Amino acid sequence: LMYEKRRAGDDVIDLGMGNPSDPPQEVVIEKLAEAARDDDNHGYAEALGVMSLRREVAAKYYRQHGVRLDPAREVLVCLGSKEGFSHMCLALLGPGDTAVVPAPYFPAHLYAVAMAGANAITLEATDCEKYLANLDYTCRHLVPRPKVAIVNYPHNPSTTVVEADFYRELVKLARKYGFMVISDLAYADVVFDGYKTPSFLAAPGAIEVGVEFTTMSKGYNMAGWRVGFCTGNAEMVRALATIKGYYDYGMFRPIQIAAIVALRQTEAAVEAQARIYQQRRDVLCDGLERLGWTIQRPKATMFVWAKVPDIWAQRFDSFEFAMKLLKEANVVVSPGAAFGPAGEGYLRLALVENESRLRQAVRQIGRCLGKVGEE
Ligand SMILES: Cc1ncc(COP(=O)(O)O)c(C=O)c1O
């Protein structure tokens, strides 16, 4: 419908997908072009990723989280974190196994488990203490016990964040019940108001029980480049490398070379980009609050997870309400139920348009719902 409307000349504001709309830094693009002109860079690259990129990832983990990693055994480059995550599920899980998936769920978290032929148990992830209690309960009562727990904080879609204590408790449970942990830390670089997201790998003993995925898609505006990393437990990293060896053969070397430059030289731009998302968050949240919506301001991610106001939730489910906003307000949002039943009653709005477009989106939503936003 969005494309139909656009073809018909409607100006549709797309806040549906977390697809960054700003470009990477010029120096990174220049490096890509320069490396692509080198004849030596067009063959198969090292399957695990070029060593200097893996070293750079290890250096960033130390700077950002105080975590020491061995780039040779504990860091692997993947074709976007989603590819690495899905293949890790394939490496670890099979029929008869169970994985715990956060709910509401980022679709890949559920479907990677399903595609591996394993069972998924979803546990509500928006209250992290309750999540740990439920995980403990599940491990005590489920036979066989879950083999893997997937965690994703800052959480997409709900934007829930955790503190370091959460991971300490998670590692204790993993040791007690013998499950492995996959942490998806996609939003490590998109944090607001001075909040710093902890890394699972910084928890004592974490490296014995799990891995963490990070990405250059969000903070570095390199989503289309497909650069992600798997870090942590060497055996799990090796299992992923084995599976990947059957499916792909590493990443185009010029991309890896440009990624090194991005990690080395563009940290200030990553911080500036987070401030841009923070300002957009404020514009969107202020606007929706003026329309009478109750909004929890996110401390991280590039999303606002907005509860559908009661008067509308009584009449429409989240799919119907999102469709109404598209049809009548020309604004695309993701319905909460697209992230499973736990997302019903919510909408996810991505901060991928600039501030004036976000103001316009609020005005259009206000008009469509019968209340005109100020400005
Ligand atoms: C929680 C989460 N994990 C992974 C990804 C995908 O990241 P990548 O582009 O590195 O595959 C996203 C992107 O939307 C995400 O929200």
366 CA to centre of ligand 1 in angstroms: 31
If you ran DSSP here, which 8-state letter would residue 223 be given? G
368 CA to centre of ligand 1 in angstroms: 32
Closest C-alpha to ligand 1, atom 12: 186
> Of 230, 265, 300, which one is at a domain's C-terminal end?
265
Same domain as 57, residue 125: yes
Please name the residues in contact with 28: beta carbons below 8 A apart, sequence gap of 6 or more: 220, 222, 258, 259, 261, 262, 265, 266
Judge whether 136 lies within some domain.
Answer: yes
Please report the atom of ligand 1 found closest to the CA of residue 19: 14
Q: Residue 110 is part of a domain; what is its CATH number?
A: 3.40.640.10
- What's the pLDDT at 3? 80
For a ligand 1 pocket test, name from 152, 156, 190 the mutation site with the most ligand atoms within 8 angstroms of its C-beta: 156
140 CA to centre of ligand 1 in angstroms: 31
Domains identified in the chain, total number:
2
Same domain as 348, residue 206: no
**Residue list, ligand 1 pocket, CB within 6 Å:** 18, 80-82, 106, 152, 156, 184, 186, 215, 217, 223, 228
Judge whether 310 lies within some domain.
Answer: yes
- What's the pLDDT at 215? 98
Minimal CA–CA distance to 203: which of 174, 229, 230?
Answer: 174
Same domain as 166, residue 39: yes
Residue pair 170/205 in contact by the 8 Å Cβ criterion: no
Please name the residues in contact with 211: beta carbons below 8 A apart, sequence gap of 6 or more: 88, 181, 182, 183, 230, 231, 232, 233, 236, 237, 240
Judge whether 280 lies within some domain.
Answer: yes
- CA-CA distance, 174 to 168, in Å (whole number)? 10
For a ligand 1 pocket test, name from 185, 215, 349 the mutation site with the most ligand atoms within 8 angstroms of its C-beta: 215
Q: Which two tokens stand for residue 263?
A: 């990690």
Same domain as 313, residue 191: no
Judge whether 99 lies within some domain.
Answer: yes
374 CA to centre of ligand 1 in angstroms: 34
Average pLDDT, the chain: 95
Same domain as 214, residue 108: yes
39 CA to centre of ligand 1 in angstroms: 32
For a ligand 1 pocket test, name from 79, 182, 189, 217 the mutation site with the most ligand atoms within 8 angstroms of its C-beta: 217
Judge whether 190 lies within some domain.
Answer: yes
- CA-CA distance, 228 to 344, in Å (whole number)? 30
228 CA to centre of ligand 1 in angstroms: 9
- What's the pLDDT at 373? 45
Q: Which two tokens stand for residue 230?
A: 């798997």
Q: Using alpha carbons only, what angle is made at residue 92 by residues 89 and 96, rounded to the nearest 5 degrees? A: 95
Q: In terms of residue numbers, what domain contains 185?
A: 26-265
Residue pair 130/168 in contact by the 8 Å Cβ criterion: no
Residue pair 220/270 in contact by the 8 Å Cβ criterion: yes
Please report the atom of ligand 1 found closest to the CA of residue 301: 16
Judge whether 211 lies within some domain.
Answer: yes
Count of Cβ atoms closer than 10 Å to residue 311 Cβ: 9
214 CA to centre of ligand 1 in angstroms: 9
Please report the atom of ligand 1 found closest to the CA of residue 217: 9
Q: Which two tokens stand for residue 211?
A: 């891995």
118 CA to centre of ligand 1 in angstroms: 21
- What's the pLDDT at 4? 83
- What's the pLDDT at 257? 98
Start-to-end CA distance of the chain, whole Å, equals 29
Same domain as 54, residue 11: no
Same domain as 46, residue 8: no
Judge whether 373 lies within some domain.
Answer: no
If you ran DSSP here, which 8-state letter would residue 371 be given? -
Minimal CA–CA distance to 319: which of 298, 300, 301, 333?
Answer: 333
Q: Residue 9 is part of a domain; what is its CATH number?
A: 3.90.1150.10
Same domain as 316, residue 220: no
Helix axes 355-368, 267-290, angle to 10 degrees: 20
Alpha-helical (H) ranges within the chain are 2-7, 26-36, 51-65, 81-92, 107-115, 128-141, 164-177, 206-209, 234-247, 253-265, 267-290, 310-313, 318-329, 355-368
Please report the atom of ligand 1 found closest to the CA of residue 18: 14
For a ligand 1 pocket test, name from 76, 101, 106 the mutation site with the most ligand atoms within 8 angstroms of its C-beta: 106
Same domain as 196, residue 244: yes
- What's the pLDDT at 329? 94
Residue pair 312/75 in contact by the 8 Å Cβ criterion: no
Same domain as 177, residue 111: yes
Residue pair 204/175 in contact by the 8 Å Cβ criterion: no
> Of 236, 265, 294, which one is at a domain's C-terminal end?
265
Taken in order 290, 295, 301, 303, the sign of the CA dihedral is: negative
Q: Which two tokens stand for residue 36?
A: 């692509």
Residue pair 316/304 in contact by the 8 Å Cβ criterion: no
Same domain as 259, residue 209: yes
223 CA to centre of ligand 1 in angstroms: 9
Judge whether 232 lies within some domain.
Answer: yes
Same domain as 208, residue 141: yes
Query: Percentage of residues in the chain with pLDDT exceeding 90?
Result: 93
Low-confidence ranges of the chain (pLDDT < 50): 372-375
> Of 265, 296, 321, which one is at a domain's C-terminal end?
265
- CA-CA distance, 71 to 83, in Å (whole number)? 20
Closest C-alpha to ligand 1, atom 15: 186
81 CA to centre of ligand 1 in angstroms: 6
